[in-house]
Amino acid sequence: MTELRSPLPPGSWLGVLGGGQLGRMFTHAAQALGYRVCSLDLDEDGPAGSVADRHLRADYLDPAALDELGSLCAAVTTEFENVPAAALQRLAARCFVSPAARCVAVAQDRIDEKSFIAGQGIPVAPHKAIRTEADLAAAGANLFPAILKAARMGYDGKGQVAVASAAALPAAWTDLKRVPCVLEKRLPLAKELSVIVCRAADGAAITLPVAENEHRGGILAVSIVPARIDAALAEQARTLALRVAQGLDYVGVLCVEMFVLADGSLAVNEIAPRPHNSGHWSIDAAASSQFEQQARILAGLPLGDTRVLLPAVMLNLLGDLWFDRGVPREPPWAEVLRERLAKLHLYGKREARPGRKMGHLTLLGNTVEDALAAANRCAARLGIGPVG
């Protein structure tokens, strides 16, 4: 593994594996600090490739492209959690890589992820790994009603099915093509939270303020910051997230998703080894955004302060908004931007599809209530249901 010779001077090249919106926002932040960015992915004019200083159009496992990226760049990060660990390992022979392949590998497999988190003594939902027919029969009645989640490649609620009872489990597993899965008890959720941890190569770590998240149809719809929870619970959430990052000896930006249960206790749901949709508000409302932190960590610069400058509500802009009763349209941006504290981010994706993340809108306010009121005015103009 290549260590960081830090700090990297402005003009140095930073690399990003993956070409989506997270890579685009990382690129903007890295360029603002004076770095040049090279992205690697297959898409000709994807969100990251179209703003990077250089774009290597290649498969993540293309050895020549990886070696070119690793020779050009002093440090490389990833924006896509299913980048093959082998790609990160190959890069690590030539340059500093953050996060490390072994951290990404844990987050890529829900079975490993759950056992790692539980192994740290951190509460998780009661669960059981399902790999064989025998595992189905051995699933205890206490786990139902449950959710069956494919161990690999799931995101935005994809690769998950609800399982009402033990009797329904074999059919649910067949629905998921009998791949390795985690069977998880469905918990009574009072709230969903996320904590983004920024951890540098020297072990220094800071979290962003806790975000409160609302999902619709399995996809993040709204993040509210600061979360409307008491200070003690926020502190507990931050402590759990830092423990996860320390336990992994994680270097980079890590999101830890959590549930607040009906009894007020916390359980960790899953981790994402990269900046996260629930941290996009930080571009406009935190002293340093999650993407700036990703660039700072990669370049060996000190971490930035993450305090909230103004309370914020982020609305995800999904492709559904580009259609009015099935007819393609451009959403009414000028109307939305009449809201004085609205910050619009569009990712430059050419084609809108239902469920596709096209952009996000952050509303600021002097209080969370003000930001929510602004979010609701914009939601109404866009045709999104009420939030908060």
Ligand X SMILES: Nc1ncnc2c1ncn2[C@@H]1O[C@H](COP(=O)(O)OP(=O)(O)O)[C@@H](O)[C@H]1O
Binding residues (CB under 6 A) for ligand X: these are: 125, 147, 149, 154-157, 184-187, 189, 192, 215, 218, 257, 269-270
Shortest approach of ligand X to residue 78 CB, angstroms?
17
Nearer to ligand X, 125 or 224 (CB): 125
Nearer to ligand X, 165 or 366 (CB): 165
* CA nearest to 189, candidates 147, 231, 150: 147
Question: Residues in contact with Mg ion, total (CB under 5 A)?
Answer: 1
Shortest approach of ligand X to residue 272 CB, angstroms?
8
Shortest approach of ligand X to residue 336 CB, angstroms?
26
Query: What span, in angstroms and rounded, lies between the C-alpha atoms of 291 and 314?
Result: 16
Residue type, 376: N
- The DSSP result for 8-55, as a single string, is PPTT-EEEEE--SHHHHHHHHHHHHTT-EEEEEES-TT-TTTTTSSEE
Cis amide bond preceding 145, omega within 30 = yes
List the interface residues with Mg ion, window 243-302 (CB under 5 A).
Answer: 257
Nearer to ligand X, 57 or 152 (CB): 152
Nearer to ligand X, 181 or 299 (CB): 181
Whether the CB-CB separation of 198 and 301 falls below 8 Å is answered with no
Residue 147 interacting partner from Mg ion, ligand X, none (CB closer than 5 to 8 Å by kind): ligand X
Query: What span, in angstroms and rounded, lies between the C-alpha atoms of 306 and 208?
Result: 5
Residue 42 interacting partner from Mg ion, ligand X, none (CB closer than 5 to 8 Å by kind): none
Query: What span, in angstroms and rounded, lies between the C-alpha atoms of 364 and 371?
Result: 5
Nearer to ligand X, 32 or 162 (CB): 162
Residue 247 interacting partner from ligand X, Mg ion, none (CB closer than 5 to 8 Å by kind): none
DSSP type of residue 377: H
Around 230, how many Cα atoms within 13 Å sit in the side-chain half-sphere?
A: 5
Shortest approach of ligand X to residue 182 CB, angstroms?
9
Nearer to ligand X, 63 or 140 (CB): 140
Shortest approach of ligand X to residue 159 CB, angstroms?
7
**Environment class of residue 182 by beta-carbon count within 10 Å: exposed (0-12), middle (13-18) or buried (19+)?**
buried
Shortest approach of ligand X to residue 149 CB, angstroms?
6
Contact residues for Mg ion, defined by CB under 5 A: 257
